[in-house]
Amino acid sequence: MATAIAKAVGVESVEHAARIENVSKSFAGPAGQQLVLDDITLDVAPGEFVTLLGASGCGKSTLLNLVAGLDRPTAGSITTDGRPALMFQEHALFPWLTAGKNIELALKLRGVPKGERRSRAEELLELVRLNGSYGKRVHELSGGMRQRVAMARALAQDSRLLLMDEPFAALDAITRDVLHDELTRIWAETGVSVLFVTHNVREAVRLAQRVVLLSSRPGRVAREWRVDIPQPRRIEDAPVAELSREITEVLRGEIRRHGQH
């Protein structure tokens, strides 16, 4: 099967923010080629929030890296509406730059004129509710604040698709819950499409319009759920807990079927 990665730039009206068609990925290992992803087909609609869920090692992050263009599929094709922005579990901020200058760097790389960068950076800090933090160094920020800056930097790329690889996994429960609210608000305000990787079932249901479960290695689309629970949602809400229990049972079945513990 032919391999292709296309980036559709400057398209005002598109059918998909991302289209993943029959994508497989294998890596060379001691026993030969190891298949990590097998025939994945998945679309993300413009403005849609999709979570990718699955057991550790099922290929979630690998798939996200392929969509980001950091690697190429062994087979299949990936098309995105412009260049996606990628946000990692670690904030990856430059410690020698202030919060504002970290965001300005993304603006510079995007070609924003120098005279406009500070005001735009301050607008993005305001969007993530970090007003007045432009001049703060990374070591002066809490973990949650650093992830907010990282989110602002990702948004500075002006991408239509935001890829998020377990960005809240290292945070405490209260901070994570606050950032769930903030991400939901920012997603609603900006209309950006989000593809969010997590291994936390309740986080997946808390955030997404659609939850996609990958099977254990090799990763395949095992099942999808449409989440019709109105926003704003809370982790402890009864409908969130009920759907989370259903998804967890299917996930456990996938893990048992593949002999993982």
Q: How far is CA 103 from CA 58, 154, 247, in A?
A: 32, 8, 37
Q: How far apart are CA 176 and CA 78, in angstroms?
A: 31
Q: Where are the beta strands (DSSP E) in the chain?
A: 3-8, 18-29, 32-44, 49-53, 75-81, 85-87, 161-165, 193-198, 210-214, 221-226
Using DSSP, state whether 53 is helix, strand or coil: strand
A 10 A CB-CB count for 5 gives: 17
Strand order in the sheet with 161-165: 85-87, 161-165, 193-198, 49-53, 210-214, 221-226
Q: How far apart are CA 245 and CA 242, in angstroms?
A: 5
User: What is the model's pLDDT at position 15?
Assistant: 83
Q: Are 106 and 153 spatial neighbours (Cβ–Cβ below 8 Å)? A: yes
Tens digit of each residue's pLDDT, the chain (261 residues): 333 333 333 334 568 999 999 999 998 877 778 889 999 999 999 999 999 998 877 889 999 999 999 999 999 999 999 999 998 777 788 999 999 999 999 999 889 999 999 999 999 999 998 999 999 998 999 888 998 999 999 999 989 999 999 989 888 889 889 999 999 999 999 999 999 999 899 999 999 999 999 998 789 999 999 999 998 899 899 999 999 999 999 998 887 776 654
Q: Are 152 and 128 spatial neighbours (Cβ–Cβ below 8 Å)? A: yes
**Is the four-CA dihedral 94, 142, 48, 100 of positive or negative sign?**
negative
A 10 A CB-CB count for 136 gives: 16
**What's the topology of domain 46-71+160-261?**
Rossmann fold (3.40.50)
Helix axes 143-156, 173-190, angle to 10 degrees: 20
Using DSSP, state whether 19 is helix, strand or coil: strand
Q: Where are the domain boundaries for CATH 3.40.50.300 in the chain?
A: 46-71+160-261
Global pTM? 0.88
Q: What is the pLDDT of residues 214-254, one digit of tens each?
A: 998 789 999 999 999 998 899 899 999 999 999 999 998 88
| Cβ-proximal residues to 113 (8 Å cutoff; 6+ apart), any chain | none
